[in-house]
Amino acid sequence: IWDRLQDDLRSIDGQQYGAYKRLLGKYEHSSPTFTLSVDHVQGDAYASPSRVRAVIPWQETGLPDEYLQSDIRRIALCDFVTRICAAMIRAKHLDQNVSGGGGWSGPKGGAFNINSPGQEILPRTSAMIDGNDTIELRFTVSLPAAGRTVLGQQAYQILGVNLVELVKKSLFYPNLDQEQLQLHVQTAENQQSLRHQLAEHNLTAFIADGSVLPRASGASETPMDSANVVPFKSPKDLKVELLRADGTNVSGMGVPRGVTLLTGGGFHGKSTVLEAIQLGVYNHVPGDGRELVVTDPTAVKIRAEDGRSVTSVDISPFISNLPGGKDTHHFTTNDASGSTSMAANIQEALEAGCKTLLIDEDSSATNLLVRDQRMQSLIHNEPITPLVAKARALYECHGVSTIIVIGGLGDWLSVADLVIGLDSYVPRVLTKEAKSVVEKYPSNVQATLDYGSLPNRSLQVDLRGLRAPYATRKHFIVLKPDAKSTVDDPSEAEAGIDLSSLDQIVEIGQARTIAKLLQGIAQRTADGAVPVVSLMKSEADAIGIEHCLPTTLEHGDLVGVRRTEVVAALSRLRGLNVS
């Protein structure tokens, strides 16, 4: 039966490239048993690569059925298998550069490609379990050519030999490292279990003792070399114990709900703690150092983002009386300032259900965070009410917590429930000291008691005249006009959505998922605007982190993403319709 693949390739050897289309369909392999499904064949050697799947009956793999018992186990298993494949393909590529040997590399980077994961364990369409019956791997393959003709022999090396090796090594017991796999699954389960305990303990975040928070460098997400790390150690007053999935205890620092300041001298590790917290919405791989750091899954990192487009956002809690009478209940601009963009980012996060704001002074607009006494005296018609005056009201009226890194803005001491000071990376509780400082040097924060209601827009996404949006980088979605479209304004020739201020997007596959969902949302809103809340709900099954992704055959490279980031991307679309 597998011979048929060889026969087919032999028969088209030397023919025009288009003859590869003949491969479309299924081929059965025995020992190990799996089906090769050729779902898409590229039109020529330089077109986007062909797509194939290897579909394996679950029973054949010899893997224990317990991995099928929950979503998180399935996700972790598939994530693990994807990593094994990606690592093997990478190793073969490197190897080939040395030995020049067969069928792993090709034009544009690789004969084979599978979406290569980072530090987070996420749902991925690169490997998927269907019911309890099959598990499949999805690859892209560049089918080889000499000029415009088929290279049948080489294609057989790729599909008939190398692919079989990949499947064997990544899915079949005993080739698969069972211990590593088990650790991977357990690690994910533990994190999920810890995250689920946050609410009952009234916490927004938890950092286990011994965690390694700093990264190898500013350009790397892998952990810092252990020789240089000060492992995390909770202050006594904040120590809590949570349970792992297997029932054993973990102790660490619990950050209660409310307004929390992370402070300390420059370079003492404040931003590193906040960054670990902001990625605590995800599960991390074993050895990451942050695999016992968990955060309220609705937490959103907020930044200033001047230049972004804003469509009809109510930023009136923070900003009113703009010059020229510009409406701040329905604030719209093509080019927001630092403070208006940050106000919009906060309001949009709240609209999408955020219950914890994460803010770093380093990446904020100062005038949205504070306004000191001298400026209050000097400037009377300031349109901004800073967050320092609203953070308490936000917590009391809407139950939204704030964790903020503060190095230089002492006014914040007077509104904090908890002040954590970092001294050479070691956290200490400084709440009492902060209280006496506030008594000694009073500030004049005019805190308001009322926050107003949370925004709830209805959105309509109009992509008419645009071809399918797609992600070109982790932080950019391109919206290209259709060849037939009537858009002739050159500035619109290649519009896009800039996601670079969304610090909680960790992989390009997530941006691809957002681009894909954007099309769905455009269709769903074709007949009229839909409230953000219901967009969030109705897309839940598709994009909740613990749920499935769109799984039609064209997708092998999508990665799970929160609804929050999808709505954030939508909100940045220029030319959005809001009612």
Q: Provide the residue type at 213 as one letter.
A: L
| Site size toward ligand ADP, by CB under 6 A | 14
**Which of 337, 336, 332, 338 minimizes the C-alpha distance to 311?**
332
395 binds ligand ADP per the rule CB under 6 A: no
Between 173 and 267, CB nearer to ligand ADP: 267
Cβ atoms < 10 Å from Cβ of 432 = 9
- Smallest gap from residue 256 Cβ to ligand ADP (A): 22
Q: State which of positions 402-461 bind ligand ADP (CB under 6 A).
A: 425
* Paired sense of beta strands 356-360 and 401-405, if any: parallel
- Smallest gap from residue 271 Cβ to ligand ADP (A): 3
**Which of 402, 314, 416, 418 minimizes the C-alpha distance to 359?**
402
Q: State which of positions 549-568 bind Mg ion (CB under 5 A).
A: none
Q: Which region, judged by CB under 5 A, interacts with Mg ion, from 101-109, 170-178, 357-365, 501-509? A: 357-365
Q: State which of positions 195-214 bind ligand ADP (CB under 6 A).
A: 213-214
Q: Which region, judged by CB under 6 A, interacts with ligand ADP, from 199-207, 227-235, 390-398, 550-558? A: 227-235
List strand residue ranges (DSSP E) for 172-299, in order.
203-208, 215-217, 220-223, 239-243, 249-256, 259-264, 283-284, 293-295
- Smallest gap from residue 212 Cβ to ligand ADP (A): 7
228 binds ligand ADP per the rule CB under 6 A: yes
Between 269 and 353, CB nearer to ligand ADP: 269
**Diameter of the chain measured on Cα atoms:** 88
The neighbouring-strand residues paired with 529 are none
**CA neighbours closer than 13 Å in the CB half-sphere of residue 473:** 8
Site pattern 532..561 for ligand ADP (x: CB under 6 A):
------------------------------
Q: From the list 362, 396, 494, 541, which residue makes contact with Mg ion (rule: CB under 5 A)?
A: 362
The neighbouring-strand residues paired with 34 are 29
269 binds ligand ADP per the rule CB under 6 A: yes
Cβ atoms < 10 Å from Cβ of 236 = 8
Question: Which contacts (CB < 8 Å, 24+ apart) does range 25-28 have?
Answer: 27/1, 27/2, 28/1, 28/2
290 binds ligand ADP per the rule CB under 6 A: no
Between 290 and 308, CB nearer to ligand ADP: 290
Between 268 and 555, CB nearer to ligand ADP: 268
Give the separation between CA 471 and CA 478, rounded to whole angstroms.
6
Q: From the list 190, 191, 260, 272, which residue makes contact with ligand ADP (rule: CB under 6 A)?
A: 272
List strand residue ranges (DSSP E) for 314-355, in order.
331-333
- Smallest gap from residue 389 Cβ to Mg ion (A): 24
Q: From the list 15, 149, 153, 271, which residue makes contact with Mg ion (rule: CB under 5 A)?
A: 271
The closest residue (CB) to Mg ion is 271
Say which residues have a Cβ less than 8 Å from residue 309's Cβ, sequence separation at least 6: 333, 334, 335, 336, 572, 573, 574, 576
271 binds ligand ADP per the rule CB under 6 A: yes
Between 144 and 214, CB nearer to ligand ADP: 214
Give the separation between CA 165 and CA 169, rounded to whole angstroms.
6
268 binds ligand ADP per the rule CB under 6 A: yes
Q: Which three-class secondary structure state does DSSP give residue 534?
A: helix
Q: Which region, judged by CB under 5 A, interacts with Mg ion, from 167-175, 192-200, 227-235, 361-369? A: 361-369
Main-chain dihedrals φ then ψ at residue 159, nearest 5 degrees:
-85, -35
- Tell me the two tokens of residue 263: 């402070």
Q: From the list 270, 284, 392, 512, which residue makes contact with ligand ADP (rule: CB under 6 A)?
A: 270
Site pattern 137..166 for ligand ADP (x: CB under 6 A):
------------------------------
| Binding residues vs ligand ADP (CB under 6 A) | 213-214, 228-230, 264, 266-272, 425
| Binding residues vs Mg ion (CB under 5 A) | 271, 362
